[in-house]
Amino acid sequence: MTDGEDTPGADETADASGAGGSADGATTGGTAIRRDRFSGGPARGFMSSLAADERIFAADLQVDRAHTVMLAEQGIVDDEDAAAILDALDDVEAAGHGELPDAEDVHEAIETAVIQRVGPEGGRMHTARSRNDEVATCIRYRLRADIFEALETVVGAREQLLDAAESHTETVMPGFTHLQYAQPVTVAHWILSYEGPLARDTERLLAALDTTNQSPLGAAAFAGTPFDVDRERTAELLGFDGTVANSMDATSSRDFLVETTSALTTLATMLSGMAEDLVVYSGRDYLEISDDYASTSSIMPQKKNPDTLEIVRATAGEAQGALQRLLTTLKGLPRSYNIDLQEATPPAWTAVDSVPPALEVATGALTTAEWHEDVLAAEAAAGFSTATGVADRLAMAGVPFRTAHEVVATVAEDLDPGQDAPEIAELEAAAEGILGEPLTAYVDAETLEATLDPVESVAMRDSAGGPAPEAVATQIEEARERLAADEDAVAERTDAVATALDDLESEVADYV
């Protein structure tokens, strides 16, 4: 069967970023796709997405190749025409996006470029498809590559954080709640508090990848096609895991964009907290940021500012804005295709372009920073941060915790300004007043002295997930096991796509 007309009717529109869209007529004439009725007017430039579509130029060429191979295999286009089209696509790729003819979008431009090289028979490339399913496939194809890059960045950052944590399992530092001294912890424990969310970010991105990696191709405008197409075959050639079954769903839905942008926004929000911690710690002289991640003032020569981290902190707002823009664009859209969807893809590109680089910078700043262990050790006891440990010791000796809390709170209230911890005598007096008997009836003085020491306070908190060196070592070991499993999951998906694209290249070579 040879049929050079587009399956969609004249009311077809197309997506962007891409693709913009307008009426799509028959592929007649030797040099262009005719849209005479809609070819002029001031709105043409407003609707055009050709420049923005450079991002999916390579994706569109691959989609065109897979579709053409399938058409030939199904006998819808003869082998000679398929070979000419595939050869023209190679020529278009070699010329580059900048040499495409003027058009509303990259899809129309590539098709016109093929027709210019092949003649009217080049228009057979668009048989049994619409720009609607074409662009949805291109976006998924390109986004898949971006998710892979994001995943590589995340798993790489996790490995760096685990290495840094391993170097600081016994480096005691102050822990905070409400930005006030709370309890002593370790640098490793603090680092692991960010590696954990990154592990969950990996899971979210893998889930987004699996949602994205489904092919809409073959759905045509939204109502399918009368041609005997093999949707599974084009999905296989392009490295997709399967197809979006319902043809209307295939061209209309952009939930995969939401899922990806949401995952990256979640990551960015966590990252802003990490950056804020590092900015605060730098200001408190807990650490010194490497010169590679800092800058100085234009007027104050003594300044060393953690500027890169402040940009990282702002990235969360950029990602959150992108997600809100995307959700607002999609809100209330009727089925099936609407040109609003042209504006749905740029927010996802914003997220994939801004968040992974911010993660690289934040991770680099953290792992190259010099921790001032003497300052950290001195600060670890500030603000009677071992108070909870004393209350815990009393509770472990049989005093109801709320009563123990009252004893320690009474002492804390009467501490002199600048006094980081009470004397044993002060604890004794408070206990006598509340418990009616000496504190040493419950805890001996030597144990109390040890409990007031931040290092010992950390060591006693050896519950699962706690800051004690042994507990942290277990967390690192378990985190490395999770990381290895996630690396395998990413590699498995990467290899599957690479194999599929190699097969596509081989199939194309058989024709050209």
Query: Tell me, what's the pLDDT at 45?
Result: 52
Q: Which two tokens stand for residue 29?
A: 């004439």
Q: Which two tokens stand for residue 162?
A: 């685990």
Q: Which two tokens stand for residue 395?
A: 């509770």
- CATH number, domain 134-378+478-501: 1.20.200.10
Instruction: State how far the Cα of 59 lies from the Cα of 138, in Å rounded to an integer.
Output: 5
Instruction: State how far the Cα of 179 lies from the Cα of 501, in Å rounded to an integer.
Output: 52
Query: Tell me, what's the pLDDT at 46?
Result: 55
Query: Tell me, what's the pLDDT at 248?
Result: 97
178 is catalytic: yes
Instruction: Pick the closest to residue 468 from 197, 192, 181 (CA basis).
Output: 192
What angle is formed at CA 33 by the lines to CA 29 and CA 38, rounded to 5 degrees?
A: 120
Q: Which two tokens stand for residue 249?
A: 């769903």
Instruction: State how far the Cα of 148 lies from the Cα of 356, in Å rounded to an integer.
Output: 11
Q: Where are the beta strands (DSSP E) in 25-179?
A: 172-177
297 is catalytic: yes
Instruction: State how far the Cα of 101 lies from the Cα of 481, in Å rounded to an integer.
Output: 52
Cα torsion through 155, 156, 158, 164, rounded to 10: 170
Torsion over CA: 317, 318, 323, 326 (sign): positive
Rounded to a whole number of angstroms, the distance between the first and last alpha carbons of the chain is 21
pTM to 2 decimal places: 0.89
How far, CA to CA in Å, does 356 sit from each of 149, 260, 352, 360?
8, 12, 7, 6
Q: Which two tokens stand for residue 139?
A: 């976006």
Can you tell me whether residue 40 is helix, strand or coil? Answer: coil
Instruction: Pick the closest to residue 511 from 175, 139, 166, 88 (CA basis).
Output: 88
Residue 297 in contact with residue 303, Cβ under 8 Å? Answer: yes
Helix, strand, coil tally for the chain in percent (to 5): 65, 5, 30
User: Phi and psi for 287 in degrees, rounded to 5?
Assistant: -155, 165
Could you list the pLDDT tens digit for every one of the 512 residues in the chain?
333 333 333 333 333 333 333 333 333 334 455 555 555 555 555 556 777 889 999 999 999 999 999 999 999 999 999 999 999 999 999 999 999 988 888 999 999 999 999 999 999 999 999 999 999 999 999 999 999 999 999 999 999 999 999 999 999 999 999 999 999 999 999 999 999 999 999 999 999 999 999 999 999 999 999 999 999 999 999 999 999 999 999 999 999 999 999 999 999 999 999 999 999 999 999 999 999 998 887 888 788 899 999 999 999 999 999 999 999 999 999 998 998 999 999 999 999 999 999 999 999 999 999 999 999 999 999 999 999 999 999 899 899 999 989 988 998 888 887 788 888 888 888 888 898 888 888 888 889 889 999 999 999 999 999 999 999 999 999 999 999 999 999 999 999 999 999 999 999 999 98
The one catalytic residue in 39, 167, 295, 297 is: 297
The one catalytic residue in 22, 39, 178, 262 is: 178
Q: Where in the chain is the domain with CATH 1.20.200.10?
A: 134-378+478-501
Query: Tell me, what's the pLDDT at 441?
Result: 82
- Helices 345-368 and 131-166 cross at an angle (nearest 10°) of 10
The DSSP annotation for 86-111 comes to: HHHHHHHHHH-GGGSPP-SSHHHHHH
Query: Tell me, what's the pLDDT at 7?
Result: 36
Can you tell me whether residue 364 is helix, strand or coil? Answer: helix
Q: Which two tokens stand for residue 486?
A: 């996630």
The DSSP annotation for 419-484 comes to: --S--HHHHHHHHHHHHSS-GGGTS-HHHHHHHTSHHHHHHT--STT-SSHHHHHHHHHHHHHHHH
